[in-house]
Amino acid sequence: MNKKDELYFTRLGDGSATWMSKEEIREDVLRGMEDAVDKGKTQPLDAGDIEHLVDILTAAEKNVSVERGNEGVCTFDAGTLKLTVRAGLPVDRVTALSIHERAICSDTMELCNTDYSYKALKNIVQEEAMAMEQAQLNCIIPILYGAMPNLGLYTKPDGPYENWAELLPNGKIQEALAAQEQASEQSKKDMIFVGSIMAEAGACGLQFDTVGASGDADALAAFEAASVLSQKYPDLAITMGMANEFHLGMHGRLKFQGERLAGQYPAKQVKTAEAAGAGSFGLVVNTNSSRSLAWNLSRSVTYTKDTVRVAGIPVLVNAGMGVGGIPLTNTSPTDATTRVAKAHLEIGKADGL
Amino acid sequence: MAISHEIAAGMGGIRTAGDLVARMVLKGMKLNQAKEYVAQKLGCQVIDLSDSAKMKEIRESLDIGTTLDRKHAANGIAAKMKIAEILDIRIPSVELFKKKLGKA
């Protein structure tokens, strides 16, 4: 039962259930869109999009789907973590890939390691390459390899460089800038090293996940690594998923091919990814756990439509936990998940997820 | 979540033409262009690409892998070798395999 009296069943950003009137839902759709327009300088949704989104959110069905013909492609960041680690199933990664291919019917999958950072993978990349070769012999669907730049791992005590998050509050600005530049350069080299080995192991593609998680220096490392790898391995499909709807300017002065990275929102992030040689772009809009699904989804879809409008490469919306409008909870309710998927493809015109 | 997304919005993997369209999208083709390309290569309509009944027939006739295995059917790398030829694309693992066989 999705409707009780004049109230519709829906969710808050933390996944909890709530009941809202159609007018309240429409109001939150408008407010969410306005947030994207105001902060991200996006184009607003048109009246038809708004009504379509309200219809999706108030649909009578528990779970919804796209209309026939509107299907997109699905990719799965950190795919082999889900069954084998998060769900605790006693299967190895190649078996998990096969389950996704045969039983879940995933369009693509991603081989990854539990320690999902490129820096950590340096020590075990040869074994990861062996797993990739094995996976490629057994699987039909595209199998990518993925990890995160995760620049924070390069700071002391885990890494060799000073921690700029500690330097900045102490007013050591020049030292903080230098530390980020050094870490970014090393991270780039590490990602080229790992990416090259995985490409030569037959990976269909390489995924850079949460680009910009540690700020603009983190993003720069990923874009520069992608630029090198895309030229070195033209058959390697590179996909870049962001960490946030804007790059945080922890450094503030870093540029990629002449464009400042700090403060870039998705419409500019996608152009940077294109310039770096990426074949597809993973747009990220973070969920506000205090707001409604209507607010979060509207905000996210507004960014999607604006990004797709300018993108020269496919846009695959990150619609995992806490992003894309999906509630910030480990097990997202399917009523919310399916509404997010439908909205991004039919209103946002995304190429997939 | 993988199941929810795939059912709600996905192409359907090797149950349909999802993997084939995905290969073209990952290479940089926008979704509609990728669907048209794959449909043209398979000799079917775009609407057929997400029709599991139609795609089962096409995939079995082309021997490029289906969700339920069959005796003597192409699987894994063998299926991908056929896919590369049908779609006229280079698949890295196929190129690696051919190199190992001395056929690259």
Please name the helix (run of DSSP H) or strand (run of DSSP E) that holds residue B39, with its range, or none: helix B31-42
Q: Which amino acid is at A302?
A: T
Does A54 map to a domain?
A: yes
Q: Which residues of B touch A239 (CB under 8 A)?
A: 26
Does A352 map to a domain?
A: no
Cβ pair A141:B76 closer than 8 A:
no
SS3 B26: helix
Does A109 map to a domain?
A: yes
Q: Is A51 on the interface with B (CB under 8 A)?
A: no
Cα radius of gyration (chain B): 14
Tokens of A155: 């700071």
Q: Which residues of A touch B91 (CB under 8 A)?
A: 204, 235
- The whole-number pLDDT of residue A3 equals 79
Sheet-wide strand order for A7-11? A3-4, A7-11, A17-21
B25 → closest Cβ in A100, A321, A351: A351
Cβ pair B27:A237 closer than 8 A:
yes
Cβ pair B15:A79 closer than 8 A:
no
Q: Greatest CA span in chain A, whole angstroms?
A: 61
Which segments of chain B have a pLDDT < 50? none
Please name the helix (run of DSSP H) or strand (run of DSSP E) that holds residue A182, with its range, or none: helix A173-200
Range of the domain at A313: 3-346
Cα radius of gyration (chain A): 20
Alpha carbon A2 to its chain centroid, in Å, reads 30
Tokens of A100: 């996704």
- Cβ-based neighbour number of residue A27 at 10 Å: 15
- The whole-number pLDDT of residue A230 equals 98
- Cβ-based neighbour number of residue A289 at 10 Å: 15
Strands A143-147 and A109-111: parallel
- The whole-number pLDDT of residue A4 equals 77
Q: Is A11 on the interface with B (CB under 8 A)?
A: no
A105 → closest Cβ in B13, B28, B76: B13
Does A300 map to a domain?
A: yes
Does A172 map to a domain?
A: yes
Tens-digit pLDDT string for chain A (353 aa): 777 788 999 999 999 999 999 999 999 999 999 999 999 999 999 999 999 999 999 999 999 999 999 999 999 999 898 899 989 999 999 999 999 999 999 999 999 999 999 999 999 999 999 999 999 999 999 999 999 999 999 999 999 999 999 999 999 999 999 999 999 999 999 999 999 999 999 999 999 999 999 999 999 999 999 999 999 999 999 999 999 999 999 999 999 999 999 999 999 999 999 999 999 999 999 999 999 999 999 999 999 999 999 999 999 999 999 999 999 998 899 999 999 999 999 999 999 99
**Overall domain count for chain A:** 1
- Cβ-based neighbour number of residue A37 at 10 Å: 17
Does A351 map to a domain?
A: no
* Residue A18 to residue A11: CA distance in whole angstroms: 5
- List alpha helices for A58-170, DSSP H: 79-81, 93-99, 118-121, 125-138, 164-167
Q: Per-residue pLDDT tens for A12-51?
A: 999 999 999 999 999 999 999 999 999 999 999 999 999 9
- Cβ-based neighbour number of residue B84 at 10 Å: 18
Which residue in chain B has the smallest CA separation from A326?
A: B1
Does A93 map to a domain?
A: yes
Please name the helix (run of DSSP H) or strand (run of DSSP E) that holds residue A240, with its range, or none: strand A237-242
SS3 A11: strand
Q: Which amino acid is at A246?
A: F
Q: Per-residue pLDDT tens for A159-209?
A: 999 999 999 999 999 999 999 999 999 999 999 999 999 999 999 999 999
CATH of the domain at A229: 3.20.20
Cβ pair B19:A140 closer than 8 A:
yes
A71 → closest Cβ in B1, B50, B67: B50
Nearest to A111, CA basis, from A151, A71, A84, A74: A84
- Cβ-based neighbour number of residue A4 at 10 Å: 9
Q: Using an 8 Å Cβ cutoff, are B39 and B45 in contact?
A: yes
Q: Which amino acid is at A14?
A: D
